[in-house]
Amino acid sequence: MVIRNAIPNDYESLKALWQVAFGDQEFYIETFLRNKWKGDNCLVVEEEGRIVSMLFLLHAEIITEGKRSVAWYIYACATAPDFRGKGLMRLLLEEAYQEAISQSVFALLLVPASEELFRYYENAGFRRLYKKPLSTNEYLNYNSYTKVSGQQLERVLVRRDTILNRELDVCWDFEHLVFAAGGSVSTYLTKDGYLIEEGLNNERRIIEQLPEMLEKTSDEDYAMIRFCEYYDRSNLDHSPYFNLALD
């Protein structure tokens, strides 16, 4: 068994494991691998020449004491069905943690898909922190919104970075915002913020609406964190914000 970084020759193996684990459309998998796999941000377990487990480490930033620190968002954790239950993912998570420490990364983040996975990641050293953000207005007057796309999304990023300035809020770079706002997603600027929504089957679903989503969160656990250095959470007096995680 070998734990290593994925290399370009692993492309088809990563895609095949992804399809088996998640059932996503081939177009999305290929788009992700082309745009978000940087060659050094995917850890895999190789067994007898076969990739049997993987995870991706996506760059993010997190607000700590008024400044931005590097965080890694762990995404697409997958193990081949015939290798599950052998502790391979736990090994990958620990490898990611040790690598994060060596590179002075502040924290690891992830979004579990079920309560069972929340408990699994708790046993791997992660703690529940972020609640699922909610839109406060599903019925909007779009006459007051300006639709934007492409490079105009830089204006959205400026607004997002201005709004997300509290302790442990999670920020993304422009590249990630463009990726998250692709496909069937529409983005609108407002006077004081912005709105990102997805249109599927003639229905609109709000993905992010700032600053409104800062004002209202559900009681539902959304994302977890594992600090890579000491951090005292006892002084945290608000619910920090994390969204656009490709979940």
Per-residue pLDDT of the chain (247 residues; tens, 9 = 90+): 999 999 999 999 999 999 999 999 999 999 999 999 998 999 999 999 999 999 999 999 999 999 999 999 999 999 999 999 999 999 999 999 999 999 999 999 999 999 999 999 999 999 999 999 988 776 777 778 899 988 889 999 999 999 999 999 999 999 999 998 877 789 999 888 999 998 877 778 889 999 999 988 899 999 999 999 999 988 898 999 999 999 8
pTM to 2 decimals? 0.94
Domain with CATH 3.40.630.30 in the chain: 2-130
Q: What pLDDT is attached to residue 203?
A: 79
Q: Rg of the chain over CA atoms, in angstroms?
A: 19
Q: What pLDDT is attached to residue 138?
A: 63
Q: What pLDDT is attached to residue 199?
A: 80
Long-range contacts of 93-101 (CB under 8 A, 24+ apart): 93/55, 93/121, 93/124, 93/125, 94/124, 95/3, 95/43, 96/43, 96/55, 96/57, 96/72, 97/125, 97/226, 97/228, 99/43, 100/72, 100/228, 101/228, 101/229
Asked whether the beta carbons of 244 and 208 are under 8 A apart, the reply is yes
Fold of 2-130: Aminopeptidase (3.40.630)
Q: What pLDDT is attached to residue 144?
A: 80
Kindly report, residue by residue over 107-134, the tens digit of the pLDDT: 999 999 999 999 999 999 999 999 999 8
In sign, the C-alpha dihedral spanning 221, 102, 21, 206 is positive
Q: What pLDDT is attached to residue 190?
A: 87
Asked whether the beta carbons of 194 and 159 are under 8 A apart, the reply is yes
Kindly report, residue by residue over 15-52, the tens digit of the pLDDT: 999 999 999 999 999 999 999 999 899 999 999 999 99
